[in-house]
Chains A and B, each alone.
Chain A
């Protein structure tokens, strides 16, 4: 496993790089990975530097572990594993596992008795003291004891008969377990819920689309029936600013997904970034990254929170590389845009409106004879997490420049559900490093094949990413040069994480049904 043959590619780097003082945000812990993103910010940046650009070529496999899920359940890993006190916790569809982080040996395994739903990739668990939380395909929020994996309680959070399902990793902020919901088969409304971590009781529910006359955003829909069934699912875990107690929610596409005749208007607050008070569930502001989407480009990419200078002045920022190909940096207190630009070339928009939001080109709406659109339905990026490194001041995202043809199937004046789809396509993939101050691409590393992997950056001047050929790879985060790789049995399907145990820094990543832990083991 020690792929020293790649050492020829190593660019000598002095590791004495320091994080500039103006990036004065609390770092994530180094001895644990206690929440989906490692901390609440969504940066996925670790201050650990024991593994670094100079020695990463010596990284070695420490252990691997294969999922053995309950009968009939998928063993595919999509979740970000947590690690606390030497134990790693992860979930697959309807299954939860605890593993010894030093050895990969199973500590306990819990199987949820499912009553159905859709199982397209459980994103992981939330943690609060001795309690764990995860969502199930059949619309339940489940809490387990951390020590023995025994069921504490379960709460229904959505209606299976309305074709909702649940897959998001819950995030615990203050005294609230924040759960999101999924589903885009029929026309239903998105929301997030807060539950009491001890009892599971519902504290509040925030709908992402207007439910009744007078609700904010209703003016952007033709009528209340369309608005209240308007979609805006909450597919990815929230991020959170503990200072302001604001949750950042990103929302899915409007419904019907492709056909649009009965939802003229911006369709608020679908395809948006929404600031919500964690204690009250009330909206502070919203910014729509895709007004009146007709291409299934949800904006459920992470809202990444970082404190960084703009024009020499410290600012509290939130950034997102959205599925529609546009990159935004906003003031996270006011929601006002500071940077807006394409991070890949697209062909569907006509500049930005007065609010800094893209203006869709009606000529690229889906049509009966087909509209050639870029990006394709998979998007310029998707659910897999991006990363921001305060070491380099760069925002990283695995991006796709892709084309497909969007067809309208239902040309009636009252389509429902989908009413169209895209077909075919051609794409190229690249890892991009974006300067948050300007939105300019600092460097772009072209992949030879499609790469849909989440990212991890570290103070060791590294980016860890899945790469073509079933590889997990490390790149120099300043230059983008590939430094190390190992070929796994299947492609990377969970974002890499890192933590330190007994003085050793580990990097853990999942691919298919297998979890791998790497470390510098040679003494």
Chain B
């Protein structure tokens, strides 16, 4: 980081921002309580108070950022604080307070022992917030910019090698597709994985998977797949009637997936094709 970048970051910190787009967390009490499911850390984990963290950010920018860096991940002159056991074991100043009282260099050249308990608590909340940002469920991926492709190349792929036009049209079932999703990444997800849950929005409507079952010496029955495994087959016919068979070697079962073309595309499509297609489809308003 050069001097200009460092000062720009300090200015950003003082303005209440951060180098990352941070989701605001609700204020919550600190204390021992049983949390269910897959929550991480001890029950007496410090829950970040966003107002205190904001005050702590201000103090950090004035006294600490030069050495420990804008995200508290260290620099050439100071260690990484989010990996520090003083910070990780701290509860609202329980470790940080005694550490600072012993004396620690600060940017203002004043004594760190002069920091009040409230200032220590604010710093603690700011640092705990930085730790949380590195966790698996960090909010950094909420808004990512994936618009990098070439729309003309995307259009060419859509109409050519991608064979998209065999089922789709930007004036038909994909009319206005560029405006139907929360973000471009959702369009990208829906395009690659139309059966997935990754895309917030509406793609082209798709027909259900069809099943045709033919008993030995009997009539074929076709309908929407309800259930199929090694042992049983189940479909609902066009009249809404449910049919169930136990599978035997003489029972013929044929499955037709209207999205088979999408699944096969995963083996052929390149990342460049994907990025180009997304940018092209984003232009279809």
Contact = CB atoms under 8 A, between A and B. Distances in A.
Contacts of B45: 116
Interface in A463-504: 467-469, 471, 473, 482, 485
Nearest to B36: A72
Size band of the A side of the interface? 35 or more
A138 interface: yes
A186 B131 contact: yes
Interface in A172-196: 184-187
Contacts of A106: none
B80 A225 contact: yes
A226 to B, nearest CB: 10
A214 interface: no
A186 B228 CA distance: 41
Interface residues of B, number: 68
A405 B199 CA distance: 12
B271 A370 contact: yes
B248 A448 contact: no
A6 B248 CA distance: 8
Interface in B167-192: 185, 188-189, 192
A162 B198 CA distance: 31
Nearest to B90: A161
Q: Is the interface of A mostly helix, strand, loop or mixed?
A: loop
B141 A118 contact: no
Contacts of B185: 370, 407, 423
A269 to B, nearest CB: 20
Contact of A424 (B149, B189, B227, B230): B189
Greatest chain A CB density within 10 A among B32, B36, B231, B248 is at B231
Contact of A119 (B37, B149, B227, B278): B37
Interface in B16-66: 19-20, 32, 34-45
B235 to A, nearest CB: 13
Interface stretch (A83-91, A273-281, A412-420): A412-420
Interface stretch (B107-115, B119-127, B132-140, B153-161): B132-140
A370 B146 contact: yes
B228 A115 contact: no
A8 B144 contact: no
A425 B231 CA distance: 27
Contact of B249 (A9, A74, A407): A9
Interface in B227-283: 227-232, 246-249, 262-263, 266-267, 269, 271, 274-275, 278
B236 to A, nearest CB: 17
Contacts of A412: 19, 71
A424 B141 contact: no
A372 interface: yes
A393 B48 CA distance: 56
A5 interface: yes
Contacts of B32: 115
A409 B144 contact: yes
Smallest CB-CB A-B distances: 5 pairs: A417-B134, A424-B198, A116-B42, A116-B43, A416-B134
29 contacts: A9-B247, A114-B43, A116-B35, A116-B39, A116-B41, A117-B40, A118-B41, A119-B37, A160-B42, A161-B89, A185-B40, A186-B131, A225-B80, A369-B275, A409-B138, A409-B140, A416-B134, A417-B133, A417-B135, A418-B138, A424-B192, A424-B193, A424-B198, A425-B193, A426-B192, A426-B195, A426-B196, A448-B229, A473-B231
Interface of A: 5-6, 8-9, 72, 74, 114-120, 138, 159-163, 165, 184-187, 225, 229, 256-257, 345, 363, 367-372, 374, 403-405, 407, 409-410, 412, 414, 416-421, 423-426, 447-449, 467-469, 471, 473, 482, 485
Interface of B: 19-20, 32, 34-45, 69, 71, 73-74, 80, 82-83, 85, 88-89, 131, 133-136, 138, 140-141, 144-149, 185, 188-189, 192-193, 195-199, 227-232, 246-249, 262-263, 266-267, 269, 271, 274-275, 278
